[in-house]
Structure 1
Amino acid sequence: MDQDDKNSLANINRREFVLKTVVATGYALAVTPVAFSVISTDSEGIEVSDIQIPVGKSKIPGYFAMPKGNGPFPVLLICHEIFGVHEHIKDLCRRFAKLGFYAIAPNLFFRQGDVTKIKEIPDIISKVVSKVTNKQVNMDLDATVKFAKLNKKTDISKLNVTGFCWGGKTTWLYAAHNPNIKSAIAWYGPLVGNPGDKMEFPVNIAATLKVPVLGLYGGKDARITQEHVDQMQNALDKGKSGSKIIVYPEAEHGFFADYRPSYNKMAADEGIREMLNWIKNH
């Protein structure tokens, strides 16, 4: 390798370092450094803002994005992963706003702690996530719907919800809680609990579900197994919600998370197409 090649390689390495540093800004510590597949969406043509959502006598933070113009725009609630409302969730709000949605993501962990500053995933789960109740989450999402309704540019009659991992489980459960939701899309959310679990899981509400939920799952998910998917599908078949589950055989858990090594572009792109069709058809 001559000196010019060495200089070129050094420049490439410096650019990669700068890129890593820039795109990591705003991401949860537990998932940095982010993968080079990360998607960054600008705010051209849309309105974006950090927000405070009233819940009773208190407020929880969140983030929203919507198209510029008069609307009215359909509403899309976004339920975050265990990493909270970090940059990936904000980016999703911007992406969906560019597709015509009023997209809003409340921080559903706010009362228990700031997960974006915790370095280890087991600590996130034990110190924060395990302390969050279904009742609290449903209350906060109800307040978020009320907040969205106050915006004159929203069409709350076209209310949809989506979520990822922990937020995927939340999506199933909130769809059972709020019958006014038109459609829901759950990305690889846990379906079945462990013996002795006190918290409710999607399989428990599947048979009585009224809202149509689309579940998007990975065939190589080591945590949410095909057995779990089959249990959930069997429970759904006992009801009349019209919900269904799609499994992408080569995808792992977190296949939509473009900032992580688990990202599977083919499954993610197909999942988005299925999601938009699901919303359109309902």
Structure 2
Amino acid sequence: MCFSSFCWHVEDHHLYSLFPNWGDPKVCYGVSGSHAPALERAMRKHLPNLFEEQPHLLNELVTQLSPSGLKSEGVPLHRAVQHSGEFVLTFPRAYHSGFNCGFNCAEAVNVAPVDWLEHGQNAVELYSKQCRKTSTSHDKLLLGSAREAVQALWELSVLGKKTTRNMSWQSVCGKDGMLTRAVKTRVRMEEERLDRLPICLKPQKMERDFDLNNGGECFSCFYDLHLLAARCKCSPDRFSCLKHAKLFCSCDINHRYVLQLHTINELNMLVEALEGRSEAIIWASEDTTDMHTTRLDHESGMFHKRIKSCDSRET
């Protein structure tokens, strides 16, 4: 429809988006992710009544403000005219809107290259503050990527398989690799949260299918509980993130406990594997060929050596 428009928004989890266009041109406006807070402040300033009624109005994709209104507030703005057959790529947390100059057809896809992981983690923390549901488990995606990378490092170092896939994973590992940094940052966050727990709260082992059977989100802020979850004996089917564990009930703290998928030592070993330490690669690569059947030895905290165990020891 001529002059139909789409409102200001960012992609879920601050993902990249890529969309082609067929037909009449589409006029697109964009604000970079670094200036997203400035756009949000401008929107709240110009539409105070709407935001008072709906504090998270920008998540609804129903709010429009003219580019001139944003520019008057000092928000840097970019404009592009997308013709038939051309692609537009939006970056993490980049607000975009626009209108159609006539009949056209477009489709969009979200993509998550490795450099998005940092932005995705920021999105998850922001969603928690906004009490907004996530559409995917960022931690599951992050750890899944780490395990695939470790398997690639193992194949390179032990089997000498210099495939394109293995070399691609290697390029984002190492001490300064993008994937390594993302996992290391996440592990530090988890370690800090555990350090703030009362001493009487001893972590217990989380079942591997916990998030499938229990929803995997905090009852209060909807934070992803793939790695850690708090629970009280009085409410066995209710879970929270560590930040909202006190909101469960009035029970004594001794009735509460924490479920933990991996210990901090295990997560740090995974980081060392991504950094390239041989012993850690052998330790962590064991179950990456079967992502859904990884088992942890509760006594030793080590992955069971089921695949190539003899070759691994010799290496």
- Greater helix fraction, Structure 1 or Structure 2: 2
Q: TM-score range by the shorter chain?
A: under 0.3
Flag the structure with more relative contact order, 1 or 2, with Cα contacts below 8 A and sequence separation at least 6.
Answer: 2
Using structure 1 for the length normalisation, give the TM-score.
0.24
Higher Rg: 2
